[in-house]
Structure 1
Amino acid sequence: MDAIFKALNDPTRRALLDSLRRKDGQTLTDLEEQPDMTRFGVMKHLKVLEDAHLVVTRRHGRFKYHYLNALPLQEMLDRWVAPFLRPQARALSDLKTKLEREGIMGKPDFMMQTFIRCSQDALWDALTRADQMAAYHFMCSEVRGDPKPDNVTEFILPDGNTMLRQVTTEMDPKTRIAMTFEPAFMGPDAPASHMVYLIEPQGETCMLTIEHYDMAPGQEGFGEGWARLASSLKSYLETGVALKGAA
């Protein structure tokens, strides 16, 4: 928590975060174009932001891309603000990543990372068992179809309509799941994209990374949904109570 306050206590670092909020996945050269910033200065400030987990990176080819990681800020809100405003809304989520399969899917459009105090088996089950997925999903009351290679998984809203359809394309047991992302809530003609879960045990916790690829214009808001899902999943595994119905 001290690292977050230190990182935010500088207008230059806040400007870098604002830049990533406007356009995620920038290189050092992109960020160097900010007014009154030298390359060395940008590197120095990015190191502080990475140490605070407010920025996460993904290396692809010769370039290193930087992404805003908003969940540590959500952690502060959950700790000090949410108890006064909406106690039922969200659980805290921290994030960090180590990415696999560099170059296979290219540069992700969105990344999110969190640490969850649970076993690798428990996290894997929560991501691959339809009954558990329904238990912690923030909007859906039912999930049909366990994620398995070539299997269809559908997320069903309380009114019976399908919110999301996914097809599992790859699975590495307990470490990686790749799926399509077909947002039925945006209409029948909404373009599909792709997402990946990466799991890495870290002592008493597991590090979960979420990557989203091939997002079409207008789908930038998916990030909020991922934050809500990650928060509810974390709460479900750590406390047994999901964060359902937070609109």
Structure 2
Amino acid sequence: MDSIFKALADPARRTLLDALRQRDGQTLQELTELLDMTRFGVMKHLGVLEDAELVVTKKEGRFKYHYLNALPLQQTIDRWIEPMLAKPAARAVLTLKATLERTNTMTKPDFMMQTFIRCTQDALWDALTDPGSMAAYHFMCDRVEGEAREGGELTWLLPDGNKMLSQRPTKVTPKTRIEATFEPHFFGPDAPGSKMAFIIEPQGPFCKLTIEHYDIPAGQEGVSEGWARLAASLKSWLETGTAMKAPM
């Protein structure tokens, strides 16, 4: 937590985070143009943000893309807010029909988040594929139906029975990677779908979980907060047995 406060203390680093919040996936050159300093100076600031896990990167060819990782901030806030929440607040949502007309080719993600969870690879895989487990830690839904297999379909249901989200796994590498569609039923009756991926990497007693979201349509940028809440609740559930069902 000290590294987070240190990273946020510098106005230049806050400028970089603001820029990534407005447009994720920027290169070093793009970020350098925002600050009156050398390329090396910007690299040093980005290094501090990466050390605090507030920025994560993905390399594609010659370019390295930078993404705001909101999860550490969410966990810091929840440290004080969560004890004051008696129960999740119900949110009224519409039952919507999602459409998906995109290819399965995954290139540069629009959104990326990483967290480290003290658990086994098997435990994390089960949490991401077992409908009962998904419902246990999801911050809004209390039931998930379907199967997390290629060709299957998963549906997240709100307490009132309405659909919140549907996903169709398109590529599943056991215990390592899940690629799926992302079909939100909360952005409008004609809301387009997108694509996402979970990547699991064992690292000693921890597992690194990376969440990537591709082809996010305009107007759906708010999914980043949902991912932060989901990841925070998943981490708490696996490490302590208690989910953090903080309402949006």
TM over 0.5: yes
In structure 2, C-alpha distance between the alignment counterparts of 1:159 and 1:116, rounded to whole Å: 31
In structure 1, C-alpha distance between the alignment counterparts of 2:129 and 2:27, rounded to whole Å: 34
- Output the amino acid matched with 1:20: L
CA RMSD in angstroms, aligned pairs only: 1.7
**Secondary structure in 1 aligned to 2:29?**
helix
- The Cα of 1:187 is off from its aligned counterpart by 2.9
Give CA deviations for 1:8-64 in whole Å, capped at 9, x if unaligned: 222211211111112111101100111412211111111111111111101112211
- The Cα of 1:75 is off from its aligned counterpart by 2.5
TM-score (norm. length: structure 2): 0.88
The size of the alignment, in residue pairs, is 232
Within the alignment, does 1:56 sit opposite 2:56 as a pair?
yes
The aligned counterpart of 2:230 is: 229
2:75–2:232 CA contact under 8 A, matched in 1: no
In structure 1, C-alpha distance between the alignment counterparts of 2:182 and 2:83, rounded to whole Å: 35
- The Cα of 1:235 is off from its aligned counterpart by 1.5
1:136–1:243 CA contact under 8 A, matched in 2: yes
2:12–2:35 CA contact under 8 A, matched in 1: no
Give structure 2 stretches of 5+ with no counterpart.
Answer: 89-104
Within the alignment, does 1:106 sit opposite 2:129 as a pair?
no
1:49–1:55 CA contact under 8 A, matched in 2: yes
The aligned counterpart of 1:97 is: none
The aligned counterpart of 2:85 is: 86
The aligned counterpart of 2:208 is: 207
2:57–2:66 CA contact under 8 A, matched in 1: yes
In structure 2, C-alpha distance between the alignment counterparts of 1:14 and 1:139, rounded to whole Å: 30
- The Cα of 1:85 is off from its aligned counterpart by 4.4
In structure 1, C-alpha distance between the alignment counterparts of 2:242 and 2:155, rounded to whole Å: 22
In structure 1, C-alpha distance between the alignment counterparts of 2:182 and 2:54, rounded to whole Å: 26
In structure 2, C-alpha distance between the alignment counterparts of 1:222 and 1:154, rounded to whole Å: 17
> Matches of residues 190-201 of structure 1 in structure 2 within 5 Å?
190-201=191-202
**Secondary structure in 1 aligned to 2:171?**
strand
The aligned counterpart of 2:183 is: 182
**Secondary structure in 1 aligned to 2:199?**
strand
Give structure 1 stretches of 5+ with no counterpart.
Answer: 90-103
Identity of aligned residues (%): 65
The aligned counterpart of 2:92 is: none
Over 3 Å off, 4+ runs? 83-89
1:88–1:243 CA contact under 8 A, matched in 2: no
Within the alignment, does 1:39 sit opposite 2:39 as a pair?
yes
**Secondary structure in 1 aligned to 2:139?**
coil
- The Cα of 1:189 is off from its aligned counterpart by 1.4
- Name the stretch that deviates more: 210-219 or 47-56: 47-56
2:74–2:229 CA contact under 8 A, matched in 1: no
